[in-house]
Amino acid sequence: MAGEDLIVLENVNKWFGPLHVLQDVDLSVARGEVVVVIGPSGSGKSTLCRAINRLEPIDSGTITFDGQPLPAEGRPLARLRSEVGMVFQSFNLFAHKTILQNVMLGPVKVRKEKAAVARDRAMALLERVGIASQADKLPAQLSGGQQQRVAIARALAMQPKALLFDEPTSALDPEMVGEVLDVMTSLAKEGMTMVVVTHEMGFARHAANRVVFMADGQLVEQAPPAEFFANPKSDRAKDFLSKILTH
Ligand SMILES: Nc1ncnc2c1ncn2[C@@H]1O[C@H](COP(=O)(O)OP(=O)(O)OP(=O)(O)O)[C@@H](O)[C@H]1O
């Protein structure tokens, strides 16, 4: 793994009204690193993930991406969002566009790529996530697992420097979780920089370089997965793991 930091959060704070949802958060993610964020419901994991591409503005502290502070608006923000792909729980595909159009849209509209170039890459990405044969269908004609794989292809089409995943398998029927995690695992092995909020402990164990445990808006502890799962240090992490790893 390359050592250079791609994403750096320093002393980040965010409130939702009276709720201090991110509390003095410090986190660095190196190029090529896969960081899995886990923790109890409501601990601020999604907010942390969304702050990294400024879907949630922060109240204090700094976040830098590839050496630059996050831009607040306009074209620089659009550029940042194209460099930091995001995959959501709810897929967020355009319902009235085909699968292929969904994957081509960003490169053509935002990157001003020629349609033929964008189409070729989109088809290659759909091939890679195993959906090329569905390219002309509408999202609603696909299963949830297939739609989420399209969403990953769409994020990759922008050739991002990092990918953020916010509970990408939480909305899926159980039998579809594996196909999405397989795609994510292969991206991780290929060296994509990834921040993944998930409740899938198997993915955390096998694909993460580092597990970050959050509780009540704070990064309570972080460690390589083998170390974290075998020997959690804080009472909060021990308690969390005892609840989720009982079967
Ligand atoms: N837009 C918002 N306005 C007000 N409160 C919010 C908003 N978004 C999230 N919250 C609150 O902030 C806290 C943290 O939410 P967040 O979604 O980041 O947690 P999480 O750790 O991802 O939880 P989960 O695992 O349940 O998704 C929660 O108490 C949530 O209700």
What confidence score (pLDDT) does residue 244 get? 85
> Is the C-beta atom of 217 inside 6 A of ligand 1?
no
Of all residues in the chain, what percent are helix, strand and coil, respectively (each to 5)?
Answer: 40, 25, 35
**Beta bridge pairs of residue 162:** 84, 193
Site to substitute for ligand 1 among 22, 36, 37, 45, most atoms within 8 A of C-beta: 45
What confidence score (pLDDT) does residue 72 get? 86
Instruction: Tell which atom from ligand 1 comes closest to the C-alpha of 39.
Output: 21
CA distance 154 to 146: 12
> Is the C-beta atom of 16 inside 6 A of ligand 1?
yes
> Is the C-beta atom of 46 inside 6 A of ligand 1?
yes
> Is the C-beta atom of 42 inside 6 A of ligand 1?
yes
Residue 181's Cα: distance from chain center in Å?
Answer: 12
Start-to-end CA distance of the chain, whole Å, equals 33
Per-residue pLDDT of the chain (247 residues; tens, 9 = 90+): 456 999 999 999 999 999 999 999 999 999 999 999 999 999 999 999 999 999 999 999 999 999 999 988 888 898 888 899 999 999 899 999 999 999 999 999 988 999 999 999 999 999 999 999 999 999 999 999 999 999 999 999 999 999 999 999 999 999 999 999 999 999 999 999 999 999 999 999 999 999 999 999 999 999 999 999 999 999 999 999 998 875 4
Instruction: Tell which atom from ligand 1 comes closest to the C-alpha of 166.
Output: 22
Phi, psi of 72 (to 5 degrees): -85, -30
AA letter at 88: F
What confidence score (pLDDT) does residue 1 get? 46
Residue ID of nearest Cα to ligand 1 atom 30: 42
Phi, psi of 2 (to 5 degrees): -70, 145
Ligand 1 centroid – CA 47 distance (Å): 6
Residue ID of nearest Cα to ligand 1 atom 17: 46
CB 64 within 8 A of CB 8: yes
> Is the C-beta atom of 178 inside 6 A of ligand 1?
no
Q: Where are the alpha helices (DSSP H) in the chain?
A: 45-52, 74-83, 99-109, 115-128, 144-157, 174-189, 201-207, 225-230, 235-244
Q: What is the DSSP letter of 64?
A: E
Inter-CA distances, 23 with 14, 144, 219, Å: 7, 34, 8
CA distance 163 to 82: 10
Ligand 1 centroid – CA 216 distance (Å): 10
What confidence score (pLDDT) does residue 3 get? 65
CA distance 74 to 72: 7
> Is the C-beta atom of 19 inside 6 A of ligand 1?
yes
For residue 2, the SS3 value is coil
Q: Which two tokens stand for residue 185?
A: 């695992």
